[in-house]
Amino acid sequence: MFQDKLILRIPGPTPIPPRVQQAMNHPMIGHRSGQFSKLFADVAKRLKPFFGTAQDVYILAGSGTSALEMAVVNTVGAGDEVAVLVSGAFGERFAKICERYDITAHRLNVPWGEPIRGEQLEAFLAEHPNVKAVFATQCETSTGILNPIAELAQVVRAKSDALFIVDAVSCLGAVPMEMDAWGVDIVVTGSQKAFMLPTGLAFIAASERAWNVIDNRKPQAFYLDLKAYRKSLAEQTTPYTPAVSLIFGLEEVCNMLEEEGLENIFKRHELMRDMTRAAMKALGIPLMTADEFGAATVTSLDPQGKFDAEELRKILRTKYNMIVAGGQQHLKGKIFRIGHMGYCEPLDVITVISAIEMALKEMGVDIPFGEGVKKAQEVYINHV
């Protein structure tokens, strides 16, 4: 009877609010009509506060990876050297995109679950003085780490002339991003995470410094030519066919987020993070990241042999119709990850923790039954 009541707690795609679903059911309109132009220009402007920028935000039809590639191909090219900060699977994706275009990617690798620190980046830039761009990931979804972007931006500004380009796909709209104030040159995100939409839109903003580089480069791409998007946005349109229904949904997302307010959004996500982490500690399930760098959008857990993460996920899926994420690359089958972003509230977190406790009991794992829920409730009550 309740099989359609899926409890989706992965770090993207995230649940879609009913009012956003309804907005996407708006009758189709012409994508070159005056009605669409007004809608499109309005939502593009309303995205700026989430980026922390006075610069224009460009919207393209594509996944977050399309905008990652856009950030690469518009700023650097074959033979150039770049630094890629790798603290998990998605930092490595930036490196792979660069190498596809014959760009020399120098990787600053840290163990998965640890952040990139400013002193590490400073030493790395001293070893690679010719890099033209530094690529970083704000929230590394594969480990639940939140890298200190403001600190890293300060180092890039002080120690090089490189552009600083940030993948904020799995956290923008849920955690602070002050692109202008921090000195970040390009920020990229997608629609299916904190923006509570289906996959299919990507957003990108560039600083004046970045535009000075872009304007002096011959475009390497057709669809991903950022100058084409700038020209079209000035005319309140897109260079290629937009995802009209998703733009209607984005308008409603902007309404919802503005109603809640940025500071309240950030506090809600921090609360859900703190509830999840307190619960897991109470159950004796090791966290992959230190509290200081734990992401507000996803929490990664490493059972370290205490139980089978995949069996836990299977029980949650088959018995409770709840989906939590598994590990990626070398962590596949070893860890599990709980997404808590977007259309998610503290009571949803308590539901997840309760189901995990029941699944672990069914598996015969010795846990202090009920303690996880209790700790999460205490964090919630103290916050309220």
pLDDT higher than 90, residue 181: yes
Confidence (pLDDT) at 15: 97
User: Whole-angstrom Cα distance, residue 45 to residue 51?
Assistant: 11
Confidence (pLDDT) at 32: 97
302 Cβ neighbours under 8 A, 6+ residues apart: 113, 286, 287, 288, 331, 334, 335
Q: What is the pLDDT of residues 266-294, one digit of tens each?
A: 999 999 999 999 999 999 999 999 999 99
Confidence (pLDDT) at 2: 72
What is the separation of C-alpha 238 from the centre of its chain, rounded to a whole number of angstroms?
Answer: 24
Confidence (pLDDT) at 5: 84
pLDDT higher than 70, residue 46: yes
Structure tokens at 189: 């995100």
Q: What is the mean pLDDT of residues 42-46?
A: 98
Q: What is the pLDDT of residues 342-367, one digit of tens each?
A: 999 999 999 999 999 999 999 999 99
pLDDT higher than 90, residue 64: yes
pLDDT higher than 80, residue 70: yes
The fraction of the chain above a pLDDT of 90, given in percent, is: 97
Q: What is the mean pLDDT of residues 221-246?
A: 98
Number of Cβ within a 10 Å radius of residue 183: 18
Conformational region of residue 317, where left means phi above 0, alpha means psi within -120 to 50, and beta covers everything else: alpha
How far from each other are the two terminal CA atoms of the chain, in whole angstroms?
Answer: 35
pLDDT higher than 90, residue 308: yes
pLDDT tier at 84, thresholds 50, 70, 90: very high
Confidence (pLDDT) at 1: 60
pLDDT higher than 90, residue 33: yes
The fraction of the chain above a pLDDT of 70, given in percent, is: 99
pLDDT tier at 4, thresholds 50, 70, 90: confident
Asked whether the bond before 11 is cis by omega within 30 degrees of 0, the reply is no
Show the 3-state SS of the chain. Answer: CCCCCCEEECCCCCCCCHHHHHHHCCCCCCCCCHHHHHHHHHHHHHCHHHHCCCCCEEEEECCHHHHHHHHHHCCCCCCCEEEEEECCHHHHHHHHHHHHCCCEEEEEECCCCCCCCHHHHHHHHHHCCCCCEEEEECEECCCCEECCHHHHHHHHHHHCCCEEEEECCCCECCECCCHHHHCCCEEEEECCCCCCCCCCEEEEEECHHHHHHHCCCCCCCCCCCHHHHHHHHHCCCCCCCCCHHHHHHHHHHHHHHHHHCHHHHHHHHHHHHHHHHHHHHHCCCCECCCHHHECCCEEEECCCCCCCHHHHHHHHHHHHCEEEEECCHHHCCCCEEEECCCCCCHHHHHHHHHHHHHHHHHCCCCCCCCHHHHHHHHHHHHHC
Tokens 């150039």, residue located? 80
Q: What is the mean pLDDT of residues 21-36?
A: 98
pLDDT tier at 219, thresholds 50, 70, 90: confident
